[in-house]
Amino acid sequence: MKVQHKVIVVTGGGSGMGRELVLRLLSKDAKVVAIDINESTLQETLTLAGNKGNGLTTFVVDITKKQSVEDLRDKIIAQFGFVDGIINNAGIIQPFIKVNDLSYEAIDRVMQVNFYGTLYMTKTFLPNLLTRPESHIVNISSMGGFLPVPGQTIYGATKAAVKLLTEGLNSELADTNVNVTVVFPGAVDTNISKNSGLKATGQSFTENKSIKVLSPVKAAEMIIDGMERNAYRVMVGADSRLMDFMYRLNPKSAAGFISKKMKSLLAG
């Protein structure tokens, strides 16, 4: 689906990859609705949009609240009359600790944002998307959604759920006007640790010198390109492409490789 003049909703649009997705869409003359739980970062995105800001509408929304998402839909439909696409980008990671040491509170929070937030957005907007001549759902999973990452096991489980949710939707909607794309970013240079409410405890993922990170600008370009090509899946970054290949070739070996890479970040 070409994004020009389309109305597209982006979650997590206040920072990182979400912000760059918003700016990329605006540069291609889409009308963008950016939502985030953080009002100040949404305002920063609006400021960065510059003269393209006329095409940007922002809402402060907690996507873990189903009623809030449904209220958002009503506001957007009242303003625009329809929605052509949604990009479910918002997500958080867990503390870099093992499942045995992870609190149920932390587990619930990651599950609510990453899985239920994506599910609420999809279920709420899908009936409207089905009425459009052409529409699109993009769900951001993760390289950790197909490959186990020690210290991020629950995060990975939520992203694996997003992967299968998206692939299932693709099959269910195959004979409709709704296109569906699942995205697997590798290491992208964002503030996800800070946005996840995690305290700085030593070296961060993006500071690990053995891991090459991708800029959020480049990641956003790849995602929007995949959306416009109606791609089934988009691997974002050389690490994601490499690990996808390695995991399909030999899952246990690939898991061991990542475990060694992540050992310095895993507490305990």
Q: Which of 104, 116, 120, 155 is labelled catalytic?
A: 155
β-partners of residue 229 are none
Give me the residue label for tokens 């649009």: 13
Q: Which residue spans within the chain are E strands per DSSP? A: 7-11, 31-36, 56-60, 85-88, 135-140, 178-185, 233-236
Q: Is 120 a catalytic residue?
A: no
Q: How many CB atoms lie within 10 A of CB 160?
A: 18
Alpha carbons within 13 angstroms on the beta-carbon side of residue 72 total: 30
Three-state secondary-structure class, residue 8? strand
Give me the residue label for tokens 């951001």: 140
- In eight-state DSSP terms, residue 113 is I
Please state, in angstroms and rounded to a whole number, the distance separating the CA atoms of residues 256 and 88: 30
**What 3 state SS string does 158-210 have?**
HHHHHHHHHHHHHHHCCCCCEEEEEEEECCECCCHHHHCCCCCCCCCHHHCCC
Measured over the CA atoms of residue 122, residue 124, residue 129 and residue 131, the dihedral's sign is: positive
Q: How many CB atoms lie within 10 A of CB 202?
A: 9
Which amino acids are annotated catalytic?
Answer: 155
